[in-house]
Amino acid sequence: MSRSLSAAIKKKIALRAKYRCEYCLLPEHLSFYAFHIEHIRSIKHGGTNELSNLAYCCPDCNYFKGTDIATFLDNDTLVRFFNPRRDDWNSHFMLEESAIHGITDIGIATVRIFKFNDVERLIFRQQLAELGFYP
Ligand SMILES: [Zn+2]
C-alpha cells in the first residue's frame, strides 16, 4: 500500500473495484479489515503510482503477493500473476463453491502464490456464499 496516494485517488480505485478485492473478489464491507491499494507491478520492479498499475486488494492477497510479480510453475516457466487492469477474471479463474481454481497458467500461478484457498479463507468465503454475499 502506498502512503503517497491521495484519499481521492484511493476512493476512485475502490469505486472502480466496487469495493471488492480485485483478485479473490472478497467484498470489503464483509471483511474485518480495511482493504489496501496494491501495486500490480511493485515499485521495485519498475511499477508506478498510475491508476493503470493499482488495484484494490484485501489484506490477505496483498500480504501473500507482497512485491512479487510472477512465479515458476512446475515446468520451470516463469508465469506472471493475474493483472486486474488487463485480464478478465473469468478467463483465468473459476469458482467451485467458494474455492477459486486457476484455469490458465496465470490463474494457477496467482491462486498458488496468493493462497486463495487457504482453509481459513475458504471457510470464510463459504460462509459468505451461504449468506448470498459471495461472489
Ligand atoms: Zn483478496
How confident is the model over 42-91, as pLDDT tens digits? 999 999 999 999 999 999 999 999 999 999 998 789 999 999 999 999 99
Q: 39: CA distance to ligand 1 center in Å?
A: 13
Q: 31: CA distance to ligand 1 center in Å?
A: 10
Q: 32: CA distance to ligand 1 center in Å?
A: 13
Dihedral over alpha carbons 94, 97, 98, 102 (to 10 degrees): -20
Q: 56: CA distance to ligand 1 center in Å?
A: 9
DSSP element (H, E) containing 94: strand 93-96
Query: Where along the chain do its domains lie?
Result: 7-130
Q: Average per-residue pLDDT in the chain?
A: 94
